[in-house]
A = this chain, B = another copy of it.
Amino acid sequence: MDISKIIGGIRLDPAATIPLYIQIANAVAAKIQENILPPNTKLPPERELAELLKVSRTTAINAYHQLERQKMVRTRIGSGTYIAELSSHSVPKADIPWHQLFSPHLQTPLSSIIKELVSTVVSSDSISLSAGMPDPALYPLDAFHDLFNLTIKNLDSTDFGHIPTEGYFPLRQELARYLNQKNIFSQPDDILVSTGSQQALYLLTKVLLAPGDYVIVESPTYLGAIQMFQSAGARILTLPAAGRFPLSLMEDYLIRYRPKLLYILPTFQNPNGRLIPLNERQEILSLASRHRLAIIEDDPYGELYYGEAPPPSLKALDHYGGVIYLSTFSKILFPGLRTGWIAAPAAVINRVALEKQYMDLHSNNISQWLLTNFLGHNLLESHLKLVRREYKKRRDSAARALRRHLETLISFSVPGGGFYLWCHLENRITSRQLLHEVTKENVSFVPGEAFYADPLGEKEFRLCFVTHREELLQEGVKRLAQALHALMKNTVASQTNRPNSIRPII
């Protein structure tokens, strides 16, 4: 490598406002980035640099100083100037105590679980029964490809500019039409489009909850909601999500704690698949209305029923204007669309829109046109028929495999819809022990503790049955059974190690 030739080839512009030393430093830095000048290359001495580029010696010195400040080069005293190792200039030395500047972050022990679930890669040799994701093979990609080409011709250039914070108006019209079919009588103004229903929940938390406020949730419930409420400083009151809805416990909470809201998934709940029957829905609403309790009804799974359609949503039955309804297309179409929505009284939509305006001005336009047309061309119903048929088969197949391989060792009930089988271990093994064992076989699920605000669920776990086709599901359950049998053989030893005992910290 002829270093003089490389450096001598740098072209400077003496007429530019950028000083020559910066021009030189930038040109050298670019060659370092492109690896034309690799780490540890010795650069010409300052005097030679000045001659090569026909600049003053001061300019050459300043150029090397600039590169040194940027950690691109380092000077060895008595030896000269060398290109630095990549690692040193790509990570600038942090002279600023960032961690002390950050606002405190309430980090629950399980707060990284969503992040891990989201980054789970579905690879060919692993069987993920953990992430609540639809099967990528069923994404309606051809329809979206056709819609894009159809749509883009009919768009006005204003459709590519800023749209209202509440969402693209034609989409809100389609959503109102869709909700009206489900007896949720809405106008476009009652609807706000969000970046997934996660953002809808974040916005509502921001707008409704202050530190110390009480929130009622089911137990177990969606783990993202628990984390969101806790990170807002709210206090969680739990209602067991099994058997008859515990109305009198809810009433006690209402009287004693005056909670701000009830967060509930009445239809094919995440994680336990529970469906609240119509009469209990009416009882919940009548108790809530007497206490002026606001309800957030989260309904990502309502369309995914594998037998009879579920009863009307709480929102459809709402007679006191207290229900805020959330849903999303992530579980039905594909998560990358990032499109959810809130249907709520106008007072709520207006306040949430003020917050969303600060947050991101508005959500992405492209997904919003595409969905407008997907709904407008009535493509949703046929897609739903397809996924319902397919997911029903998978639910039944997973349930059969669990019964065959794990007969007396676990119990579960078969949900009428949704994504999940909620299993209970009928022996000494905990779901964390099982997870630890089964990940060796490239199978994963979510241990029950993740879904509880209280320290419960160590014998429970959630299996998502929709992500993989039947053969893989069967294989996953088989490996799960092998792991459990292997664990049970070795439990005598682990018995002595009681995981729940608290030891002094010394």
Contact = CB atoms under 8 A, between A and B. Distances in A.
Interface of A: 16-19, 22, 26, 29-30, 33, 69-72, 89-99, 101-103, 105, 111, 114-115, 117-119, 121-122, 131, 133, 136-137, 139, 141, 145, 148-149, 152, 157-165, 180-181, 183, 185-187, 194-196, 198-199, 202, 206-210, 224, 227-228, 231, 260-261, 277-278, 289, 292-294, 308-309, 311-312, 316-322, 334-338, 345-348, 351, 354-355, 357-367, 370
Contact of A96 (B16, B133, B149, B321): B321
Given A137-B157, A185-B89, A335 B162 contact: yes
Contacts of A370: 366
Nearest to A137: B157
Nearest to A182: B26
Given A29-B185, A72-B185, A228-B358, 6 more contacts: A17-B311, A69-B319, A117-B162, A122-B161, A139-B160, A198-B359
A181 B316 CA distance: 55
A27 to B, nearest CB: 10
A364 B122 contact: no
Nearest to A285: B69
Nearest to A467: B161
Given A162-B133, A195-B364, A202-B358, A181 B30 contact: yes
Please give the count of copies of this chain that the complex contains: 2
B17 A308 contact: yes
A278 B22 CA distance: 10
B163 A336 contact: yes
B348 A98 contact: yes
Contacts of A359: 198-199, 202, 359
15 contacts: A18-B278, A33-B185, A96-B294, A98-B345, A115-B357, A131-B162, A136-B157, A136-B161, A139-B157, A145-B152, A149-B149, A160-B337, A195-B195, A337-B365, A366-B370
Contacts of A366: 336-337, 364, 366-367, 370
A86 to B, nearest CB: 9
A95 to B, nearest CB: 4
Nearest to A322: B96
Contacts of A105: 351, 354-355
Contacts of A96: 292-294, 320-322, 345
